[in-house]
Amino acid sequence: MRIPVHTAALAVLLGMVASQGLAQGFKPTRPIEVVVHTGPGGGSDVLARAIAIMIEKEKLLPVRMQVVNKTGGNAAVAAAYLAEKAGDPHTIGFFTGVWLTTPLISAESRITLRDLTPVARLVLEPAVIAVKADAPFRTLAEFIDAAKKNPGKMKQSGGSNTSRDNVVRQLLQKSAGVRWAYISFPGGGERIAALLGGHVDMMVIEPEEAGEHIRAGTMRVLAQVSESRLPNFPNVPTLKEAGFDVPVVPQVRGVVAPPGIPKQNVEFWEDLFLRLTRTASWRKYIADNQFEDGYQNAAELLKFYDQFTDRMRDILKDAGVKTVR
């Protein structure tokens, strides 16, 4: 088909204008500060460092990325630090679910995602429901039955009462009409030790953490907390398939920026991370860590944030936790 000259000329002209527009967009000139709320070795810190390495490898940025640990306050300190850096185009932060829930329950934690500039949601972390290998339950239904017969006697190890572990528990308890005990441990290692030592009956655990124990035969998985079956767990039913129609409240990780940055800046970041999620290194990283790609741009992230916090408020109220916002 022959393209009319004027259409071609228009296309060329538009292309030139568009590239001018992009050229006038934001370009970083200093190392980028990446704020995380954990110390070195913590989940966000490791992800941030891995992403920095990937971005360097795929040459997506002309400058370095520097991870800055702002620990404390269950992400409140990191959020407040980002808020202080208003208008700074060379700072971003990696948020996780705790950034979203802490402001709901702590009066002191004043900075929510809406007070900052949401940029993108990157990954969703699914989870699995695991028991010790020699436990008598073969399916989630059997565990729920045992809980029904012994109300309050079955035990689950997990994080704080606002963590995803407890959220899953609250949703399942409500849906199945049963109750079991929930015991908080501050670190993943202790939770796993409690399960392997037979001190608790089940736990909600990230598939990557459980992987080696499953392979060694010390742990078994009853169900998976995700929308569809994960590639590494083809024979494990999802919660819905196992007969429990509960919403999958995901553990999220994403990018956030200080408030008051220009639109071009946000678009630059959105574009950067979108391109990152299309690279081979990223796909390999997701597969290795058994994450789910959950990319959303800034507008979608904001909608997700509202939905997520509304749902969390209901869940927390059911769990008896006082919400302040």
The answer for residues whose C-beta is within 8 angstroms of residue 105's C-beta and 6 or more apart is: 162, 316, 321, 322, 323, 324
Q: Tell me the CA distances in angstroms from 113 to 116, 249, 294, one per residue in order.
A: 5, 18, 18
> Burial of 92 by CB count in 10 Å (0-12 exposed, 13-18 middle, 19+ buried)?
buried
**Minimum distance between the CB of residue 80 and other proteins, rounded to whole angstroms?**
6
C-alpha triplet 97, 81, 84: angle, nearest 5°: 125
Q: Do 95 and 253 meet the contact criterion of CB atoms below 8 Å apart?
A: yes
Q: State the nearest-atom distance from the C-beta of 32 to other proteins, in Å.
A: 15
* Residue with Cβ nearer other proteins (49 or 148): 49
Q: How far is the CB of 84 from other proteins (least distance, A)?
A: 12
Q: Compare residues 178 and 298 and give the one whose CB is closer to other proteins.
A: 178
Question: Of the two residues 71 and 279, which places its CB atom closer to other proteins in the complex?
Answer: 71
CB of 39 to other proteins, least distance (A): 6
Footprint of other proteins (CB under 8 A): 39-42, 45-46, 49-50, 53, 67-74, 76-77, 80, 102, 105-110, 152-153, 155, 160-162, 181-190, 192-194, 196-197, 199-200, 211-213, 215-216, 218, 320-322
Q: Which residue number, 173 or 265, has a Cβ lying nearer to other proteins? A: 173
Q: CB 218 → other proteins: shortest distance, Å?
A: 6
Which residue, 195 or 256, is less far from other proteins as judged by CB? 195
Q: Write down the H helix ranges in the chain.
A: 5-23, 43-57, 76-84, 97-105, 140-149, 164-176, 188-196, 207-216, 263-277, 280-289, 298-318
